[in-house]
Amino acid sequence: MAPTRPRLFATPDEAQTAFYEAFERANLAAMMAVWAESDDIVCVHPQGPRLVGFEAVRESWMQIFANGAALRVRATEERRFDAQSVAVRAVVEQVAPVGENAPVSAICATNIYELTPNGWRMVVHHASPLADPAPAAEEPAPQGHTLH
């Protein structure tokens, strides 16, 4: 049963767990219960446009969930920055289709949560493909990121 009302998350980590659970289950109501109901939330899917505001963000997840096969998403290599009302989780997402041994894709994600009157909610999800730290064949620079 999909939750139809926002749930209250007592900690940023509860919100993040709910975010990835909703992602894996492709559950739009659960996903949007994680996000703050605000015109200022920001969501950037890998190689996607910058979406601002609850409706644009909701629409994007609806499309992702409509298109996609079920995914297994594991957040790794977390770096945390915590304040009383804002919390940052910078992670690497290891993404793989459920039930397959396909090679995972790796996504670099910056997740930001804010303490709202309705508990901790996501306000920013910025995701981009994780580049290989090893030199690419065509790119001799050791760290491969000379473009900003």
Contacts to a copy of itself by CB under 8 A? 23, 40-42, 44-53, 55-56, 59-60, 62-64, 67-68, 71, 77, 79, 81-88, 90, 92, 95, 107-108, 110, 112, 114, 123-124, 126-133, 136, 139-148
Beta-carbon count within 10 A of 89 CB: 21
Which of residues 1 and 102 has its CB atom nearest to a copy of itself in the complex? 102
Maximum Cα–Cα distance for the chain, whole Å? Answer: 52
Which of residues 1 and 134 has its CB atom nearest to a copy of itself in the complex? 134
Q: Please tell me the distance from the alpha carbon of residue 17 to that of residue 75, in angstroms, as a whole number.
A: 9
78 in Cβ contact with 12 (< 8 Å): no
CB of 29 to a copy of itself, least distance (A): 17
12 in Cβ contact with 112 (< 8 Å): no
Which of residues 5 and 48 has its CB atom nearest to a copy of itself in the complex? 48
